[in-house]
Structure 1
Amino acid sequence: MPRFHVRRSTLVEAPLADIYSTVADYSTWPAWSPWLVAEPDAEITISPKPREIGASYSWKGDLVGEGKITHLHLEPDESVRDEIRFAKPFRSRADVWFEIRQTHEGNLLAWNMEGKLPWFLFWMKSQMETFISMDYERGLKMLKEYIETGEVKAETRLHGLVDVEPVEIVGIRQRCHRRELSEKMPPLFQQVHDLLEQAGLEHGRGASVYHHFDCKSEEMDFTSGFECNAPLVDLPEGLSLWSLPATQAIRVEQIGPYEHLGNAWSAAHQFLRYRKLKENPAGSFEVYQNDPETTPANELKTDVYVTVKS
């Protein structure tokens, strides 16, 4: 069976003891779990003494599946070593561990998973590593915020399958690695805004379309721009137009900083898999309900729409 190993890390502005005490305490996990954002009402069972060797954290739900993780070894202020066993959607086990140490850049927290895929999923090794890596990155962002501030200022609301009216988005199309999106997008919105203004064209809310994601290279093909308020007769040079007829999509509302937007996309795809739906290759999109220039980060609202095949 093919082995896989995923490792992601972040720097946390907190004492090593605080980092360790949070990670070792299963009672904190629901607050920063990258999976429970999709199904906060899933059944969670935590041992009475959640910070001891042998303590366990188990979950059961429609979207999150079923499984259990157990503390095997705890080294105060240094590491937490666990075993995770999945029951659904398929049976498997893996080793999970956290490393905590001081570096010249700050206090580092690393999250690892190592295991073997079931034989019937051998072809998914690369894809599985990418998806787990993305989950770990989302989880570490929330865990870092939780340790540093005592809470995660983000909320994910899954609305399920909804009808979507025809959509037209005008913008600039580019490709980049998914980790570069946060730096690539802001100047694109400004460029699109300036081009539309120069042409005397009105526009609606900010929006981005994701045309394709390559799981192997992690490259995104996307368009960032604005909703069209009226049909465009002459498109300014440098801009492209994306159109979508009336369709159905999985809608997820994300409230809070854009750095947590991945939670909404993950929730939508968890729902997609649960309902055994297929994503529409025409593209999926997100609409920014308010202006980040005038809205506090914690009050930002974004609607994510993952379109599905009819």
Structure 2
Amino acid sequence: MKILKYLFFLILIFLIGGAIYFATKDGSYDVARTKTINAPAEVVYNNVKDFKTWQNWGPWMAEDENIEINYAEKTQGEGASYSWKSDVMGDGSMKTTRVIPNKEMEQKIVFNTPLGDSESDVYWKFEEGEEPSTTKVTWGMKGELSFMDKVFMSFQEGDFETSLSSMYDQGLENLDQVVMEEMKKFEISVDGIAQHGGGYYMYNTISAKMGDIGAKMGAMMGQVMGYMQSNNIAMTGKPFALYNQIDEANGTVIFSAGIPVRDRVITPEGSTVVSGYMEPVSALKTTLKGGYDNIPAAYAKAQEYMQQNGLTPHPTAKMFEVYVTDPNEVPNPANYVTEIYMPVLVPEEAQ
């Protein structure tokens, strides 16, 4: 009996010691991972703000393809929520509690476990990266492990913070890939013959390699716009590029960056910004929705249409591009809209 009595006391001492150990063990945690994504903050935020988009990049999807997700009526903004059931990941729910669009987001996550519910805080930060048009994205979770959580995690192969860091790293990598693919999307439509009204415009002109057009265009447009603002000249249409001369053999082009105005403007002698006039013209109109790097593909499709439909290029009128959207207002290149006009002879002129 004495042996059983001593054994009982040893077990009791062990249990008390274990309880004291786990009770005094620090259970607080704050795990955050950061990744810089080559996209504006608004584009990245738009892929995170709605819980329905999480299935496109969430790392848990790879862990359990049979996970059951239930969305609330509201899935984005403060008060948005969703829940899940999984034989692999366990059950739980999440709710968005605070939002500063394109900057911060805070959420509450609840895990339903056999040991009881466990609640933690999830947070997101979207900060400007070191390079232009990049975003430093931080995804983190913080909270306090309960006594039973600490006991349970002590018998797991990997520690909690390491597992969470790995999952967040994978999630941010997936998010990066989703954002990059989204920004590459584009559509080209050949709209047919359209009448462009022409009119007066302010412009400057430069000669450049074809591959340098995009790099030079922004500065040229800025110079024209700056001149107009300094002289209180209102724009009456969307900015455009006019291709005056193209040397395909040498890969060079002489082009103008222009902004429509109502009347002719007399500029000082020697001014790099001058006034011009475009005659009304019939042109094959092609619309590109997507990044400017897809413009060559739009021209190729327009050329193909002209050949298939026997259209005759106008011998003197120059082709031009109208930039319907402003990149400063439309952060995602997939939503840029560019209209391409290739002047043609109408049937009466072609005879």
Q: TM-score, normalised by structure 2?
A: 0.44
Higher strand share: 1
Report the structure, 1 or 2, having the larger helix content: 2
Greater relative contact order, per chain length (Cα 8 Å cut-off, separation 6+): 1
